[in-house]
């Protein structure tokens, strides 16, 4: 591979796939983490020889170890130019009735796995004085009804990234968080299916108490994808974060993300709570 190499998690679809293909087109060597052979074949069909799909379920420590061991052999003294932690899952629902197993799964994939990836790739990143990018969400800054698990997992990522930025400063490894708003990816149909399963699993009293909020969330999910930009807008920002001489600590992506960030900054808590109940 070339002198600049990136490892991208969650590259089967959506933002991760767009990042992998964009970096490949820009001349980077890319290890694209996927979970199925079909996803690997799909990437290989449109990418160059620089793009190499690797089997990487971020919940599996054995696969993380296998991929990073391979990188150490193949990259050697060049090290890893960038780690893009993108893999994630949508989990939501009323906290009063939330399955704690689902909460654990959410944090395992969205929060703990990125730290595991950093730990496994740290020596490679130090060698190259590389970059770490966490693909987060504007949900890290503002949390509405039924989005608590996802928002909390992403908020935690921001806190971890801030600590990591200070800890790796002397190693010249820079850390950025990318916070998109709504993006046209398969997270929306996945969220629709998740919401349907959630309704089916909730007891009657939960439906009675939360039907209005659940219905509102379902409506937002059903309509958001149609107005959302392509995942390539996020890929452009990720590329900027790993190539800029002085990358930003945080990047907001999308008008909705910028509006929400402004609301968080300036609105009192009481007014903000009223706002998130309506969006």
Report whether pLDDT(166) > 80.
Answer: yes
pLDDT reported for residue 56: 98
Our count of domains for the chain comes to 1
| 150 among known catalytic residues | yes
The CATH number given to whatever domain includes residue 251 is 3.40.50.720
Which listed residue (31, 150, 194, 210) is catalytic? 150
**Structural domain range at position 246:** 5-276
2/81: higher pLDDT: 81
Report whether pLDDT(2) > 60.
Answer: no
- Span 11-18, average pLDDT: 97
- Is residue 46 within 8 Å of 21, Cβ to Cβ? yes
Q: Please measure the distance between the N-terminal and C-terminal CA atoms of the chain and give it in whole angstroms.
A: 45
Angle at 42 between CA 85 and CA 190, to 5 degrees: 60
Residues 12, 237: Cα–Cα separation, whole Å: 19
Report whether pLDDT(1) > 50.
Answer: no
Nearest alpha-carbon partner for 138 in 17, 254, 22? 254
pLDDT confidence band for 188 (50 / 70 / 90): confident
Q: Quick one: tokens of 240? A: 């900027």
How many Cα atoms are found within 13 Å in the side-chain-facing hemisphere of 270? 0
Q: What is the pLDDT of residues 19-59, one digit of tens each?
A: 999 999 999 999 999 999 999 999 999 999 999 999 999 99
Task: Calculate the average pLDDT of the chain.
Answer: 92
DSSP 130-168: -EEEEE--GGGT---TT-HHHHHHHHHHHHHHHHHHHHT
Q: Quick one: tokens of 212? A: 């209005």
- Span 159-181, average pLDDT: 97
- Is residue 174 within 8 Å of 247, Cβ to Cβ? yes
- Span 181-193, average pLDDT: 83
The full length of the chain comes to: 279
Q: How far is CA 219 from CA 28, 213, 279, in A?
A: 40, 10, 10
Q: What is the pLDDT of residues 96-144, one digit of tens each?
A: 999 999 999 999 999 999 999 999 999 999 999 999 999 999 999 988 8
Neighbouring CB atoms inside 10 A of 251's CB total 21
pLDDT reported for residue 264: 79
Residues 235, 231: Cα–Cα separation, whole Å: 6
146/235: higher pLDDT: 235
Residues 154, 141: Cα–Cα separation, whole Å: 8
Helices (H), 51-182: 61-75, 100-107, 113-128, 148-167
pLDDT reported for residue 265: 81
Q: 51-78 burial by CB neighbour count: b if 16+ within 10 A, else e?
A: bbbbebbbeeeebbeebbeebbeebeeb
């Amino acid at each position: 591979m070339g002198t600049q190499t990136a490892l991208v998690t969650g590259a089967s679809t959506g933002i991760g796939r767009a990042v992998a293909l964009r970096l490949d087109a820009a001349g980077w060597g890319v290890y694209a983490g996927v979970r199925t052979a079909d996803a690997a074949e799909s990437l290989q069909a449109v990418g160059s020889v620089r793009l190499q799909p690797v089997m990487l379920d971020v919940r599996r420590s054995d696969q993380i170890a296998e991929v990073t061991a391979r990188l150490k052999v193949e990259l050697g003294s060049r090290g890893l130019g960038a780690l893009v932690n993108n893999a994630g899952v949508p989990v939501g629902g009323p906290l009063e009735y939330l399955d704690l197993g689902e909460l654990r799964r959410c944090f395992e994939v969205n929060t703990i796995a990125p730290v595991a990836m950093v730990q496994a790739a740290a020596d490679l990143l130090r060698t190259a004085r590389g970059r770490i990018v966490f693909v987060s969400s504007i949900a890290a800054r503002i949390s509405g009804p039924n989005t608590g698990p996802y928002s909390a997992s992403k908020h935690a990522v921001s806190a971890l990234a801030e600590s990591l930025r200070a800890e790796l400063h002397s190693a010249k490894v820079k850390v950025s968080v990318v916070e998109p708003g709504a993006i046209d990816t398969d997270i929306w149909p996945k969220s629709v299916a998740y919401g349907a399963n959630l309704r089916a699993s909730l007891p009657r009293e939960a439906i009675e108490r939360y039907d209005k909020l659940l219905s509102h969330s379902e409506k937002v999910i059903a309509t958001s994808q149609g107005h959302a930009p392509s995942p390539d807008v996020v890929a452009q920002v990720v590329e900027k974060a790993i190539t800029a001489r002085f990358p930003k600590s945080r990047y907001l992506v999308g008008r909705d993300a910028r509006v929400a960030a402004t609301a968080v900054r300036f609105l009192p808590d009481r007014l903000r709570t009223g706002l998130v109940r309506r969006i």
